[in-house]
């Protein structure tokens, strides 16, 4: 057991109830096909956002009177994106593949083979790793995946480690993130998180009330993004829209969005 990591987790737990000022860490995922004009302005206390795509295309926002606000981060989500992606020139970061261990069933070796294309597209920008699913519950699985990735591509450049987590126990979530960060000596970007399942909006707020101070205080967590601004399709994973930050048909905050946006 890494004693430095244990001490860090203990410190985080001791300060978990403290409120802290809004920081650059806080962001959100935004489904571009569910975008409503004004969404980014409603979430005016968030710092950054992304949309699982490499550009926020003008055909989505051309009808809106104002441009979006906040820092937009492009993503090379899959193999197809490595063929034609064009990164906005003002972007400082590029996010890597989205859930290759689940959604696209991409092996670490396959991702490693494609990664030089991602590096070429990113240029000199800060490059974030593929974002793996279920790292909160199975941190050892994610560590094994990344070890295979780095072994297959020893010269690959990865500046940050991205993971997803839908664990409803914040302390265990933070332990998993710390373990992964410590193993690879890189900061964590939690690019999707929420409490999954048939839970209420109040359950999500209760989860945030503990998770947000932990994430803010953890030095190994560099950024985090809630899932998501708006989801209009019910699924078994998120059956009742309880994680939506914004209402279904307008750029206005839900109770969950109000807590997330105004948290300090």
Under 8 Å between Cβ of 26 and 71:
no
Question: What's the chain's length in residues?
Answer: 264
Under 8 Å between Cβ of 212 and 172:
no
Looking at residue 22, what is its pLDDT? 53
Under 8 Å between Cβ of 197 and 234:
no
In a domain, 18, yes or no: no
Looking at residue 59, what is its pLDDT? 65
In a domain, 17, yes or no: no
In a domain, 141, yes or no: yes
Looking at residue 105, what is its pLDDT? 85
Looking at residue 44, what is its pLDDT? 97
Under 8 Å between Cβ of 244 and 46:
no
Per-residue pLDDT tens, the chain, 264 aa: give them: 554 444 444 444 433 433 434 589 999 999 988 999 999 999 999 999 999 999 987 667 778 988 899 999 999 999 999 999 999 999 999 999 999 999 668 999 999 999 999 999 999 999 999 999 999 999 999 999 999 999 999 999 999 999 999 999 999 999 999 999 999 999 999 999 999 999 999 999 999 999 999 999 999 999 999 999 999 888 888 889 999 999 999 999 999 999 999 998
Looking at residue 58, what is its pLDDT? 65
The bridge status of strand 161-165 relative to strand 188-193 is parallel
Domain CATH number, residue 167 = 3.20.20.80
CA distance 43 to 133: 25
In a domain, 137, yes or no: yes
Could you tell me which residues come within 8 angstroms of residue 194 by beta carbon, excluding any fewer than 6 positions away? 166, 204, 207, 226, 227, 238, 243
CA count, 13 A, side-chain hemisphere, 215: 31
In a domain, 118, yes or no: yes
CA distance 217 to 212: 9
Looking at residue 10, what is its pLDDT? 43
In a domain, 218, yes or no: yes
What string of DSSP letters covers 229-250?
S---S--SSSTT-TT-SB-TTS
Under 8 Å between Cβ of 67 and 56:
no
Supply 86's token pair: 């064009």
Number of domains in the chain: 1
Range of the domain at 198: 3-9+24-262
CA count, 13 A, side-chain hemisphere, 214: 19
In a domain, 16, yes or no: no
Q: What angle do CA 64, 32, 132 make, to 5 degrees?
A: 150
Closest-CA residue to 196 (of 156, 236, 148, 162): 236
CA distance 2 to 127: 27
């Amino acid at each position: 057991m890494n004693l430095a990591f244990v001490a860090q987790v203990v410190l985080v737990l001791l300060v978990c109830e403290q409120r802290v000022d809004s920081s650059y860490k806080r962001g959100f995922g935004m489904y571009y096909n569910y975008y409503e004009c004004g969404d980014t302005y409603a979430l005016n206390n968030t710092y950054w956002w992304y949309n699982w795509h490499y550009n926020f295309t003008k055909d989505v926002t051309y009808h809106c009177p104002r441009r979006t606000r906040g820092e937009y981060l492009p993503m090379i989500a899959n193999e197809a994106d490595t063929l034609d992606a064009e990164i906005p020139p003002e972007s400082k970061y590029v996010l890597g593949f989205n859930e290759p261990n689940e959604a696209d069933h991409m092996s670490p070796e396959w991702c490693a083979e494609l990664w030089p294309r991602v590096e070429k597209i990113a240029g000199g920008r800060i490059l974030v790793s593929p974002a793996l699913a279920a790292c909160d519950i199975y941190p050892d699985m994610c560590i094994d995946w990344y070890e295979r990735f780095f072994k297959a591509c020893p010269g690959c450049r990865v500046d940050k480690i991205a993971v997803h987590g839908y664990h409803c126990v914040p302390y265990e979530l933070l332990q998993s993130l710390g373990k992964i960060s410590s193993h690879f000596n890189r900061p964590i970007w939690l690019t999707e998180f929420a409490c999954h399942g048939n839970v209420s909006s109040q359950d999500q707020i209760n989860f945030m009330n503990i998770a947000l101070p932990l994430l803010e205080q953890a030095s190994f967590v560099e950024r985090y993004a809630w899932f998501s601004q708006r989801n209009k399709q019910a699924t078994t994973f998120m059956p009742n829209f309880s994680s939506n930050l914004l209402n279904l048909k307008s750029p206005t905050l839900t109770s969950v969005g109000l807590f997330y946006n105004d948290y300090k």
